[in-house]
Structure 1
Amino acid sequence: MIDIPYFADLHCHPTMKPFRQVPQANIFDNIDTQGACQELNWLTRPAAKNIVKVSQTNIMKCQQGKLRLMFASIHAPERKFFDLKDWVEFMLEFSANDQTVKLGVCMTGFDRSVVEGYIDAHRKNKDQAIHYFDETQREYEYLVMQAKQNECIGIAGDYEELQRILSTPDSVAIIPTIEGMHSLAIFTNFEQQNLSFDQVNDTSDPYYQHFATQYQINIGRIKSWGGGNHAPFFITFTHYFWNLLCGHAKSVESFAMSQSFNLDKGFSALGKVAVQALLSRENGRRILVDTKHMSVASRRDFYDIWDHYKSQGDSFPIICSHAALTGKATLSDLEASYDKGHVLENEYFNTWSINLCDEDVRYIHQSGGLLGLMFHDERMPGGLAKQAIEKAKALPDAQERYDQMRNEYLRLWMVNALQAVRAINDVSAWDILCIGSDYDGILNGFDIYEDVACYPDLQLHLFQYLHNPLPCPFVEGLQTKEDIKKLYFGLTPEQIMEKVLYKNVDNFMMRYYNNYYLKQGKAVNLMA
């Protein structure tokens, strides 16, 4: 088996938990929430049963797993995530005092006082401002401080600096990114997050004008991070809830909270102004856009934006940083489906519209972008894949259980990769795929790859799979080893493994993470 010099991960959250400890923890520390989780009662314990409860991306684990290029996603948690429905909060507090707070601590790994502040934003302080941008700024400053205090980590400002950091053994290079454009906002009060689509789609509306100015100012501020060298490389444009800019896709099925407000909407006029400010080179370095969490309508609108830039001779790469595939052909097919759990029962893929169809993949490929594949036990498998995984987990013999779990998780991950290759039907499809774990992002991960220290295991398992593929009886065209090997298009297993584990990201950074691309180019006006 060939030696991989390092692994690259397009989307993870190494600062999210340590930054939100009191006092703040070191980025090397392991944050363990097992104690808080043990305080949950019979009503709240099931909600956090499968959430990973220890750090997945602290620097020590990165060094153990040779994860040396990580895109660190800075994220201000949405207060609506902690805004449970009234009857749910009543039941939690009726069952035992403080269960809402304890559940929040268990699921997030944040300090209790931080979680209490987030909950109070809707319980007690609805009339007070929500300073998402200030929190984002402080998390970036925390990252800078950690890099200064620890010689083995460095924030890379361009590809040349990235190579210098990687030239030092055991060093970890960090590329700043942001998840959720709400992270750049300041809301006067809690309810201001619920402005209607029409209010931010009408350029004469005072709210549109207020937030257009605010977003343009704060985009300018993040473009000045590190004297401009730490401007986020990309931003995941939306997240779990309406952010005034574009509609989001449903990501969780929960009776406790609602994502329904402006779910599945497209881009507002305010959103187009924000995209233009991100992509502009007149206010600092260009910041690329990550389509993860966008609704189908928003993705369609964004591809129209990409077409417009391309027609003006200023194409940019489209990123989807932590994704899964649906097996569906078109965006229209996704619009016609339902994002409900029962719909997945007879599906191998997770067909919810948050995941990608072949048409999405073709846009990413055509643009020269990247598609990061996540390790998510909920968002990647459909019902048939889940049944196979649960059956493996139930095996009594430990070694047999591990071997079968490995096979099912690997089959699932590779079927998603192969579906992307089928969408392009060309060897160049292998050039857009990479890891986008979403580790430390409050997720239910693959049990056998519980953190980044397991990446060498992933490498071994990919090596074994690519030499001896596991057919998938549920997916037409992937039902035999011969079907699968045809999709290698002449590449060796070693070449594919290198591409997916680090080389595609390295090539992407060499092409785009430089001042020639990020600072030079013509201005394009979306609002003309």
Structure 2
Amino acid sequence: MKTKFIDLHVHPAMKPLGKSFNSNPGLNHPKKNRTNSIWFQDPPTLSDKIFNILLSLTKFRQSDFTSLAKGGAHIVFVSLCGLEKGFVMKKDKTGLLRDLPANFVAGIGKKRIDYIQKMTDYFTDLQQEYDFYNQLNGTVFRIKKQNYRYKIISSFNEIKEETDKRLKTIYVILTIEGTHVFNAGLKLMDKNVDAAEVMANIDNVKRWKHRLFFIGLTHHFDNEMVGHAPSLSGIVTKLCDQTTGMYRKGFTKLGKKVLKKLLDNSNGQRVLIDMKHLSTEARKELYSILDTEYANETIPLIVSHAAVNGWPALPDGLEKREPGEGLFQQKEINFYDDELVRIAKSGGLFGIQFDERRLGSDKEIKKSRGSWSRRKMLFKQSKLVWNQIQHIAEVLNSNGEYAWGIQCIGSDYDGIVNSLNGFWTAEEMPLFDSYLEKHAYNYLKSSEAKKLSAQNKVEAGELIEHFMHKNAYTFLEKNF
């Protein structure tokens, strides 16, 4: 089966923009065989795959537009995301011994890292990434005897049915990951946040030619606005300290002003909120603000790239829960069952991340590995995503909601993710689609599916089409 797909969260520019600093900083090269072109394809070699399996590192490219085209991408939500200084600098303000490890993990190039270490303005970096996408907007490229282009859009009405069979379009919608991009969280540079500057930068973004659709309020490090959840793991935790601001109780005074400004819809320029990376305390405060200050509106909640943790409800206070041996990673960066119901009731979306470390408990991840059979590996790895889809469906079904309406792809390809083995890049999406349908078919024939209400008993193919494309497409039709 091959379904057009929509991805709620990808970073196609991160690596080519980084490589541009080796020659012409900020140039998105019009020749797709150049490493600083967003169309440059660098599929994983055998050694890359082994490296990924053993060390959870992904230096090859996953969401370049050539891979997206070959995989059947219809719409992608690209995440503008300036790399935070916490990845490349220590608290003593040095980058000593951080260049090589950071490049090793992210694969963006030493000269790009040197630039990030020295810069004092995140917003200028954001503008450069925005310009990087604009440079090749609409430019046509020839891939496998077919013409392709990407087109940045600002409304659903710009999505057209293909009439020219010689040209296929990948539609691009702009998002941001982390409000540090408005020039906050620069304590490492002895720079205090300027509230007026932050607000002016938000106004600037709202005037962009191409609309910003949604934004994640925080990312991996303190942005002086809102608490972030623990997010780093493996070798990265040995290099980076993200504890400052991590357990802040919700929003700062500036954070509340920023939230209000983003949600301001007086000129039809509301920016929706992506809840990924928020701490549990921040999420609870966000829900409270929406329930009180926006009680007369239904604002759709978005989680662009995440997973469930299997716990029934958000904890009271900061109580600690010991991870169990169930299916999921039971950590606060992942989402609770009561949040899934809230997202569904708001008409929102939940993007499931293709990061092995987020999707399963240690026990489940171990079970998904260890097979020399490629077919068995693909089946087990795709099951990690299916477990997420199924859990969300059963939670929604038990709460009287439509079971299959919020789940969608939020791969986080070319973020710092540990790829699902076998589904290394966006080019493998048709393969992923076919394996996911096997899991759906098996589930719908099982005794577990008998608990589904009549409205939630659908065919396997229809269910997977919802996940791959329809849910996100319908959401855009209503909200974009």
Q: Counterparts in 2 of 1:288-307, with a 5 A limit?
A: 288-307=272-291
Question: What is the aligned partner in structure 2 of residue 419 from structure 1?
Answer: 391
1:152 aligned counterpart, secondary structure: strand
TM, length-normalised to structure 1: 0.79
1:147 aligned counterpart, secondary structure: coil
Going from structure 1 to structure 2, the CA distance change for 1:504 and 1:105 (only over 3 Å counts) comes to: same
Are the counterparts in 2 of residues 220 and 284 from structure 1 also a CA contact under 8 Å? no
1:170 aligned counterpart, secondary structure: strand
Going from structure 1 to structure 2, the CA distance change for 1:485 and 1:460 (only over 3 Å counts) comes to: farther
Going from structure 1 to structure 2, the CA distance change for 1:303 and 1:379 (only over 3 Å counts) comes to: same
Are the counterparts in 2 of residues 347 and 383 from structure 1 also a CA contact under 8 Å? no
Alpha-carbon deviation of 1:492? 1.3
Question: What is the aligned partner in structure 2 of residue 49 from structure 1?
Answer: 55
1:428 aligned counterpart, secondary structure: coil
2:160 aligned counterpart, secondary structure: helix
Question: What is the aligned partner in structure 1 of residue 64 from structure 2?
Answer: 58
Q: Please tell me whether residue 256 in structure 1 is matched to residue 239 in structure 2.
A: yes
Question: What is the aligned partner in structure 2 of residue 378 from structure 1?
Answer: 357
Are the counterparts in 1 of residues 227 and 251 from structure 2 also a CA contact under 8 Å? yes
Q: Please tell me whether residue 492 in structure 1 is matched to residue 459 in structure 2.
A: yes
Larger radius of gyration: 1
Question: What is the aligned partner in structure 2 of residue 174 from structure 1?
Answer: 172
Identity of aligned residues (%): 26
1:300 aligned counterpart, secondary structure: helix
Alpha-carbon deviation of 1:348? 2.3
Q: After superposition, what is the alpha-carbon deviation per residue over 1:74-112, rounded to whole angstroms, capped at 9, x for unaligned? A: 1101001112477x987xx5xxxxxx3222222222122
Q: Please tell me whether residue 214 in structure 1 is matched to residue 188 in structure 2.
A: no
Q: Counterparts in 2 of 1:376-525, with a 5 A limit?
A: 376-389=355-368, 392-393=369-370, 395=371, 398=372, 400=373, 402-425=374-397, 426=400, 428-469=402-443, 481-484=446-449, 486-487=451-452, 489-513=456-480
Question: What is the aligned partner in structure 1 of residue 37 from structure 2?
Answer: 26
Consecutive unaligned residues in structure 2, runs of 5 or more: 28-35, 141-147
Q: In structure 2, give the amino acid aligned to 1:50.
A: S
CA–CA separation in structure 1 for the residues paired with 2:474 and 2:434: 23
Alpha-carbon deviation of 1:366? 1.2
Going from structure 1 to structure 2, the CA distance change for 1:463 and 1:171 (only over 3 Å counts) comes to: same
Equivalent of 1:316 in 299, 313, 317? 299
CA–CA separation in structure 1 for the residues paired with 2:114 and 2:134: 27
Q: Please tell me whether residue 73 in structure 1 is matched to residue 79 in structure 2.
A: yes
Q: In structure 1, give the amino acid aligned to 2:88.
A: F
Question: What is the aligned partner in structure 2 of residue 280 from structure 1?
Answer: 264
CA–CA separation in structure 2 for the residues paired with 1:142 and 1:355: 32
Going from structure 1 to structure 2, the CA distance change for 1:214 and 1:72 (only over 3 Å counts) comes to: same
Going from structure 1 to structure 2, the CA distance change for 1:241 and 1:257 (only over 3 Å counts) comes to: same
Are the counterparts in 1 of residues 5 and 73 from structure 2 also a CA contact under 8 Å? yes
Alpha-carbon deviation of 1:62? 0.8
Are the counterparts in 1 of residues 274 and 301 from structure 2 also a CA contact under 8 Å? yes
Give the count of matched residue pairs.
Answer: 448
CA–CA separation in structure 1 for the residues paired with 2:91 and 2:245: 17
Alpha-carbon deviation of 1:164? 5.4
Q: In structure 2, give the amino acid aligned to 1:440.
A: D
Moved more, 106-115 or 436-445: 106-115
Moved more, 9-18 or 489-498: 489-498
Q: After superposition, what is the alpha-carbon deviation per residue over 1:396-422, rounded to whole angstroms, capped at 9, x for unaligned? A: xx4x2x233223222221111122122
Q: Please tell me whether residue 134 in structure 1 is matched to residue 131 in structure 2.
A: no
Question: What is the aligned partner in structure 2 of residue 201 from structure 1?
Answer: none
Q: Counterparts in 2 of 1:151-230, with a 5 A limit?
A: 152-163=149-160, 169-185=167-183, 190-192=188-190, 210-211=194-195, 213-226=196-209, 230=210
Q: After superposition, what is the alpha-carbon deviation per residue over 1:459-479, rounded to whole angstroms, capped at 9, x for unaligned? A: 111221111239xxxxxxxxx
Alpha-carbon deviation of 1:380? 1.7
Alpha-carbon deviation of 1:385? 0.6
Going from structure 1 to structure 2, the CA distance change for 1:420 and 1:337 (only over 3 Å counts) comes to: farther
Deviating beyond 3 angstroms after TM superposition, the runs of 4 or more aligned structure 1 residues are 31-34, 45-48, 148-151, 164-169, 186-189, 484-488
Greater percentage in helix: 1
Are the counterparts in 2 of residues 8 and 69 from structure 1 also a CA contact under 8 Å? yes
CA–CA separation in structure 2 for the residues paired with 1:382 and 1:82: 29
Question: What is the aligned partner in structure 2 of residue 149 from structure 1?
Answer: 139
Alpha-carbon deviation of 1:429? 2.9
Alpha-carbon deviation of 1:282? 3.0
Alpha-carbon deviation of 1:165? 7.0
Equivalent of 1:348 in 321, 327, 334? 327
Q: After superposition, what is the alpha-carbon deviation per residue over 1:228-285, rounded to whole angstroms, capped at 9, x for unaligned? A: xx12100011100111111000012423321111212211121111011111123661
CA–CA separation in structure 2 for the residues paired with 1:369 and 1:179: 18
1:149 aligned counterpart, secondary structure: coil
CA–CA separation in structure 2 for the residues paired with 1:53 and 1:149: 26
